[in-house]
């Protein structure tokens, strides 16, 4: 049996992987492995398998990504685990896939982004190449431009991040309620937002420097963002109504596991 080869960029951890598994099967494999004794959230992009690169050893795929002796497909061949995002041209990114702890996979396609009106405060979870959680006065497009601007003291060639819900804190961090926000150190979050609201000289404040937990999908406000100083790609996250009507098995899996882990 002949298998198609796929190319994936995984953010858990950052790596470029060749596989004979299509996206849904690959996501299930990343999340639960082969024996289902382990589990873990996975976020990954499909990459155009035909792109050319001098940084990655793509020529080895034909020799390394081959079926096992018993004929089963090769699940993963790691091509790189260092500076992967930086060296992947954005035109080669396809859809984004979000996997729950038990292997349910949700596919997100690029879409159009409409900024909030009026302007509000924002909370961003950076996913790659670094994982801080950041409060900001900037909307997603502005934030991406800022953190990829080489003129700033700290910048990145490319970045992937998600915007998280703030509810009432987005408009008024002084009186906005925090009891329904599942974040640690909520008093510190409020202080960061108050500082930005009150005229802090910089547009961003770090809420957590080394966020090591898994992303709670129920906290995603509007979607995921990918880009560099010249490009902006938005992957809309479904509304609650869409999740309940169109993607209920994935949404139920995400909610059950997230609430049970708390």
Decide if 224 contacts 217 (C-beta within 8 A). no
Q: In whole angstroms, give the CA distance from residue 126 to residue 226.
A: 10
The rounded distance, in Å, linking the Cα atoms of 56 and 114 is 35
Higher pLDDT, 122 or 200: 122
Is the distance from CB of 105 to CB of 41 less than 8 angstroms?
no
**Listed range (29-38, 98-107, 216-225, 246-255) with the worst mean pLDDT:** 29-38
Residue pLDDT, tens place only, 114-150: 887 777 899 999 999 999 999 999 999 999 999 999 9
DSSP secondary structure of 172-199: -TTT---TT---S-HHHHHHHHHHHHTT
- In this predicted model, what pLDDT tens digit does every residue of 54-73 receive, in sequence order? 999 999 999 999 999 999 99
97 three-class SS: strand
- Element at 146 (helix H, strand E): helix 140-147
Cα separation, 128 vs 43, whole angstroms: 11
> Is 119 or 155 the better-scoring residue by pLDDT?
155
Strand 93-99 with 122-128, pairing = unpaired
Q: For residue 182, which of 145, 144, 216, 135 has the smallest C-alpha distance?
A: 216
pLDDT for 258 equals: 66
Q: Can you give the pLDDT at residue 201?
A: 86
Per-residue pLDDT for 257 more than 70? no
What is residue 193's predicted lDDT score, i.e. its pLDDT? 97
Q: Which of 22-31, 32-41, 127-136, 178-187 has the lowest mean pLDDT?
A: 32-41
Q: Whole-model pTM above 0.75?
A: yes
How far apart CA 214 and CA 101 sit, in angstroms, is: 10
DSSP code, position 202: S
Nearest-angstrom CA–CA distance, 105 and 97: 6
Q: What is the pLDDT of residue 259?
A: 64
Q: Which residues make beta-bridge pairs with 123? A: 135, 164
Kindly tell me if the per-residue pLDDT of 96 is higher than 70: yes
Residue 37: the pLDDT is 45
Per residue in 35-50, pLDDT (tens digit) is 554 568 999 999 999 9
Q: Whole-number mean pLDDT of the chain?
A: 93
């Amino acid at each position: 049996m002949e298998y198609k080869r796929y190319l994936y960029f995984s953010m858990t951890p950052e790596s470029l992987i060749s596989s004979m598994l299509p996206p849904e099967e690959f996501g299930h494999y990343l999340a639960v492995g082969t024996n289902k004794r382990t589990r873990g959230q996975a976020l990954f992009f499909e990459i155009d398998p035909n792109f050319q690169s001098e940084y990655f050893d793509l020529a080895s795929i034909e020799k390394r990504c081959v079926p096992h002796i018993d004929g089963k497909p090769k699940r993963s061949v790691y091509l790189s685990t260092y500076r992967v995002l930086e060296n992947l041209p954005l035109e080669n990114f396809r859809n984004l896939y979000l996997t729950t702890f038990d292997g349910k996979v949700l596919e997100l396609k690029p879409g159009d982004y409409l900024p909030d009106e009026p302007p509000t405060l924002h909370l961003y979870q950076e996913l790659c190449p670094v994982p801080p959680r950041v409060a900001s006065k900037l909307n997603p497009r502005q934030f991406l431009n800022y953190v990829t601007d080489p003129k700033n003291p700290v910048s990145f060639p490319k970045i992937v991040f998600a915007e998280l819900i703030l509810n009432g804190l987005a408009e008024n961090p002084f009186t906005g309620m925090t009891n329904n926000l599942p974040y640690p150190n909520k008093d510190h979050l409020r202080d960061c937002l108050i500082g930005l609201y009150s005229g802090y000289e910089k547009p961003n404040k770090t809420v957590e420097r080394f966020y090591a937990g898994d992303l709670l999908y129920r906290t995603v406000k509007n979607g995921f963002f990918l880009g560099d100083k010249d490009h902006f790609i938005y992957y809309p996250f479904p509304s609650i109504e869409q999740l309940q009507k169109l993607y209920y098995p994935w949404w139920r899996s995400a909610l059950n596991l997230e609430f049970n882990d708390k």
